[in-house]
Amino acid sequence: MEFIDPALLAYCQDHTSPEDDILKHIDRETHARVMMPRMLSGQLQGKTLELFTKMLNPSVILEIGTYTGYSAVCMARGLSRGGKLITLDINDELEEMVRGFFAKAGLTEKIDYRLGNALELIPGLEGNFDMVFIDADKINYGKYYDLVIDRMNKGGIILADNVLWSGKILGNTEKKIDKDTQALINFNKMVQEDPRVENVLLPIRDGIMMARKL
C-alpha cells in the first residue's frame, strides 16, 4: 500500500488533523492484539471518512466489514442527529474488543453492530442508505454493490476500500492475476460503466472508489 514516498506520506499525516485518544487506543490495541493490523483504516483514511461523513450528514450508514471498529467510530461521528451506523462483520472473535471500543467512544447508541455473512444480512435490513462503506472480502465487492445500489438514496455515496490493491490491479507483473485482484478489476470496471452513478477513484492509502447515486 506504499504508493508515495514515505517522507511525503509522513508530511500528509503531519498536515492532517491528529487522532484523538480513542482512535490512538484502537490503533494500539489492534497492533498489539489482532492479526493483520495493516487492515486498520488509520489516521489519513479515517479522517477522510470522517470528513466525508460530516459533509454528507447522513441519517443511515451501512459499513460492510467492521474489523476493529476504527472506521466505524470515524463515520459515526459524522451522523446526523438521531442517525445510525449499521456495521457488519463475520469475525465474532473480535466482538468483545470492538464493542468495548464503541462504548469507550460513547457511540454504542449510534452503532448497530451485527455479526454474520453480509450477503445474508443485507437483504434483511430495512430502509435505504445515505452512505455505504465496503471494506470486506474483495471477491464479493461486486455482490455487495449489487445489493446496495438500488437502495441508495439520491445523492447517497458508496465508498469501497482497497480498490488499487497495492497496484496489482494494473496487472503489470509476471505473476498470474489472483482471484481477489481480478475481482477488484471487475468491480472498478462495473462502477465505471454504471450509468446510475458518477464516480471517482481516489489514490488515498490503498485506493477508495467513491460513487454518488444519481
pTM for this predicted structure: 0.94
Q: Kindly report, residue by residue over 72-126, the tens digit of the pLDDT.
A: 999 999 998 899 999 999 999 999 999 999 999 999 999 999 999 999 999 999 9
CA–CA–CA angle 99, 105, 108 (5° rounding): 50
Does residue 113 sit within a domain?
A: yes
Does residue 1 sit within a domain?
A: no
23 vs 44: CA distance, rounded Å:
12
Does residue 153 sit within a domain?
A: yes
> Secondary structure of 22-81 in the HEC alphabet?
HHHHHHHHHHHHCCCHHHCCHHHHHHHHHHHHHHHCCCEEEEECCCCCHHHHHHHCCCCC
Q: Kindly report, residue by residue over 155-174, the tens digit of the pLDDT.
A: 999 999 999 998 889 887 66
CATH classification of the domain holding 56: 3.40.50.150
Enclosing domain of residue 200: 6-213
Count up the domains in the chain and report the number. Answer: 1
Does residue 43 sit within a domain?
A: yes
Does residue 65 sit within a domain?
A: yes
Does residue 182 sit within a domain?
A: yes
Does residue 174 sit within a domain?
A: yes
